[in-house]
Amino acid sequence: MPGWKLLRVIATFSTHGLLYDRGHRYQLDLIGEGSLRGELEEQVRRQGTQELVRFCGFTADIEKAIHNSLFVVLVSEKEGQGVVTLEAAAFGRPTLLTAVHGSIDLLPPVRKLKNGAVFGHVKQLADTLEEWFSNPESAVHEGECFFEFLRMLSDPSAIAEKYEEVYQKMLEGSV
């Protein structure tokens, strides 16, 4: 995740009347390495939120990291296909996404919790995070929904059926 995305997520956890100022003390685990790590760590120090943001670095055991999480957050301005969303769903965890192409395509149609925050709208992301943290049972249910929805999207028979429908429409001239 590029640094500017992390800056927005860190800001959501720690500044200007958002989660931190509302009295919430959730922990954000940042997994991975990158050239902006020092800058991000400095931002966290300046904000005094070291107890909220943990820099985990590289981990070969992403399964354990996901299992230790209630949900995953993917804040993107542009997304091809959110692999982290697929990984989280494989382990029964939902992903809180921004409403961009590539991400919204992975949202189950039936959900209990808000999802698809507008990219760059930090207050909306904070409100959505607050809702998810306040409803852990619903977050668990969302994980089950993500798993089932993405499993069905990836089912070879379902994919073949969709191709067959498209080809049939092409033969009929209705495409």
Q: Give tens-digit pLDDT for 81-118.
A: 788 899 999 999 999 998 998 888 899 999 999 999 88
The fold adopted by the segment(s) 70-168 is: Rossmann fold (3.40.50)
Q: What is the mean pLDDT of the chain?
A: 82
pLDDT tens sequence across 59-75: 888 888 888 888 988 88
Predicted TM-score of the model (pTM): 0.76
Question: To 10 degrees, what angle do helices 37-47 and 3-14 make?
Answer: 10
In this structure, what are the phi and psi dihedrals at residue 138, rounded to the nearest 5 degrees? -70, -35
Q: List Cβ<8 Å contacts ≥24 apart for 131-135.
A: 132/70, 132/71, 132/96, 133/24, 133/26, 133/70
Q: Is pLDDT of 3 > 50? A: no
Q: So where are the chain's domains?
A: 1-59, 70-168
